[in-house]
């Protein structure tokens, strides 16, 4: 039985690369080839690659009250579907050069929800859409108190308009099941919380 991961980055040959769009984000076009599983070489083909950068997302959780904070904001990519383009999401932001994911988490917690995390538990890292984007998400669960959480936040010069909501963990998990929450970071984080909630509530070490 052949094991996975027999190929590496060095097995990919990029014949040509050019930037076809440069704005808030960047789009590159690549001409490339790589070996096939059957031993032949793939003919040179083209792909467009969205240069998105890495981001950090955090699920704010209060283990004493068993509550989470979720952010409601407009998302252009959700328009044109049979749902509202205002989504319930995690605290999130792009990683700037020189910043650690933990530093991004604390910065965005303040800017987007007025929250400071007393502890950050790493959930995972995952590639959002590796067929055409470079984006990698660093995903955390952050300990907070929801006693005074909630309200309106966001950086006006970045055109952010954010409402922070407090939900019980049970209600947030139910919103995955009925489709009210349908973005990947929130789904993964809330399902992780569902699996780890008892351990965290008994003692977040």
Name the active-site residue from 158, 170, 171, 202. Answer: 158
Return the percent helix, strand and coil in the chain, to nearest 5: 25, 40, 35
CA atoms within a 13 Å half-sphere pointing along the CA-CB vector of 191:
11
Q: In what helix (H) or strand (E) does residue 2 lie, and over which residues does it extend?
A: none
- Distance between CA 74 and CA 90 in Å, rounded? 13
Helices 169-177 & 184-202, crossing angle to 10 degrees? 150
Report DSSP state, residue 35.
B
- Distance between CA 187 and CA 175 in Å, rounded? 9
Whether the Cβ atoms of residue 140 and residue 105 lie closer than 8 Å to each other: yes
Rg (CA), the chain: 20
150: left (phi over 0), alpha (psi -120 to 50) or beta: left
Active site residue 170: no
- Distance between CA 167 and CA 145 in Å, rounded? 12
Kindly report the backbone phi and psi dihedral angles of residue 154, in degrees, each rounded to the nearest multiple of 5, phi listed first: 115, 155
Which positions are annotated as active-site residues? 158
């Amino acid at each position: 039985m052949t094991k996975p991961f027999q190929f590496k980055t060095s097995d990919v040959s990029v014949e040509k690369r050019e930037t076809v769009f440069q704005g808030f984000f960047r789009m590159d076009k690549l001409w490339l080839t790589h070996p096939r599983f059957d031993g032949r070489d793939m003919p040179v083909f083209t792909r467009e690659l969205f240069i998105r950068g890495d981001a950090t997302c955090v699920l704010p959780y209060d283990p004493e009250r068993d509550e989470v904070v979720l952010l409601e904001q407009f998302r252009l990519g959700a328009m044109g579907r049979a749902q509202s383009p205002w989504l319930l999401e995690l605290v999130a932001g792009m990683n700037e050069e020189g910043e650690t994911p933990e530093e991004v988490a604390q910065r965005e917690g303040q800017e987007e929800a007025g929250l400071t995390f007393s502890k950050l538990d790493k959930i995972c890292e995952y590639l959002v859409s590796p067929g055409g984007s470079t984006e990698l998400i660093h995903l955390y669960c952050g300990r907070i108190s929801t006693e005074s959480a909630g309200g309106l936040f966001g950086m006006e010069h970045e055109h952010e308009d954010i409402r922070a909501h407090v939900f019980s963990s049970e209600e947030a998990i139910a919103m995955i099941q009925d489709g009210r929450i349908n973005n990947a970071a929130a789904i993964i984080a809330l399902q992780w919380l569902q699996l780890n909630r008892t351990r965290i509530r008994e003692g977040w070490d």
